[in-house]
Amino acid sequence: MPHSVHRFDRALARRPAASAVDGLRAVDRGAPDIAALRAEHEAYVGMLESLGVAVDVLEADEGFPDSMFVEDPALVFDNGAILLRPGAASRFGEAVAMERELTARFQRLIPLPDRGFADGGDVMVTPAAVFIGLSARTDAAGAEDLVEALAELGRKGVVVTPPPGVLHLKTACSLLDDETVLMTEAMEKAALFPGMRALVVPEGEEPVANALRVNDTVLITEGFPKTETMLRENGYAVRRLKLDEVMKLDAGLSCMSLRWKAPD
Ligand code: CIR
């Protein structure tokens, strides 16, 4: 039976810390305004809930400025979770708190061995394969170990090399449905996902490539009208979220939650 990859009824998120002003960013476009960042996060959680997802929102963790991006220290599936090893020094410790949360929610938790590094943002799950992008955060050893952990959960891991300049694999692509991936033109040229159809983001709208399919809806970042029209013309039900502050931290829709479907 094919794996379900965009049906979710549970999610985990974490409130933004005031220390998010010190969050990592490749280009400094100013620190996020914390009140506005919290409002964007609340709207995001509310949107997931409106789509049928019960969201557990963890308290802010001031010790880790980027800890609201819970996607990076773990990978979760309906039948178990994998504890990752975030590749940025300031984020490595996020996995410790995440271990406790996952143990409380999953019967099976597989930790990556003490070797390489891997961030959840570098992982795109499709029905046939789980693609793992090598990046400044995910190295070859971490990716190899992740392939092994995925096999234990019955999933096939495939390691790919995204074009240069991409923070995380999913910064430049995201799943729209079981056979379609929204991606930037550079990503399409790299032809990383055999068997998947590509919908290419119009030039100038690259940041919208980190979309998030949740049940029957595709969530996108507000402010990318050409992509929104393209998605609607291709039959997708689209909802928008304002993410101006989140984007200052090089993050997007997928980064702010871990999502899964509870076993029936
Ligand atoms: C970082 O650089 O780690 C954070 N400022 C942004 C993390 C984005 N996460 C993601 O793409 N999964």
| Active-site entry in 3, 6, 41, 168 | 168
Ligand 1 centroid from CA 60, angstroms: 16
Confidence of residue 165 (pLDDT cuts 50, 70, 90): confident
Give the H/E segment covering residue 138: none
* DSSP per-residue letters across 154-175: T--EEEE-PPTT-SSGGGSEEE
Q: What is the pLDDT of residue 13?
A: 98
pLDDT one-digit tens code per residue, 78-100: 999 999 999 999 999 999 999 99
| Beta-carbon contacts of residue 153 (< 8 Å; ≥ 6 apart) | 77, 79, 80, 82, 108, 110
Residue 39 CB coordination number (10 Å): 14
Q: What is the pLDDT of residue 169?
A: 94
Residue 4 has pLDDT above 80, yes or no: no
Testing ligand 1's pocket by substitution, the residue of 41, 72, 76, 173 carrying the most ligand atoms inside 8 A of its CB is: 72
By CB neighbour count within 10 A (0-12 exposed, 13-18 middle, 19+ buried), where does 169 fall?
A: buried
Mean of pLDDT values over 141-157: 98
Confidence of residue 264 (pLDDT cuts 50, 70, 90): confident
Minimum CA distance residue for ligand 1 atom 4: 24
Instruction: Please report, rounded to a whole number, the percentage of residues in the chain having pLDDT higher than 70.
Output: 99
Say what the pTM is: 0.96
Minimum CA distance residue for ligand 1 atom 9: 255
Q: Is 69 in the pocket of ligand 1 (CB under 6 A)?
A: yes
Q: What is the pLDDT of residue 3?
A: 61
pLDDT one-digit tens code per residue, 168-223: 999 999 999 999 999 999 999 999 999 999 999 999 999 999 999 999 999 999 99
Q: Is 138 in the pocket of ligand 1 (CB under 6 A)?
A: no
Mean of pLDDT values over 155-177: 95
pLDDT one-digit tens code per residue, 110-145: 999 999 999 999 999 999 999 999 999 999 999 999
- CA pseudo-torsion sign 59, 124, 206, 30: positive
Q: What is the pLDDT of residue 232?
A: 98
Total count of residues recorded for the chain: 264
Q: What is the pLDDT of residue 1?
A: 44
pLDDT one-digit tens code per residue, 99-108: 999 999 999 9
As a whole number of angstroms, the distance between CA 1 and CA 62 comes to: 42
As a whole number of angstroms, the distance between CA 250 and CA 134 comes to: 17
Q: What is the pLDDT of residue 57?
A: 98
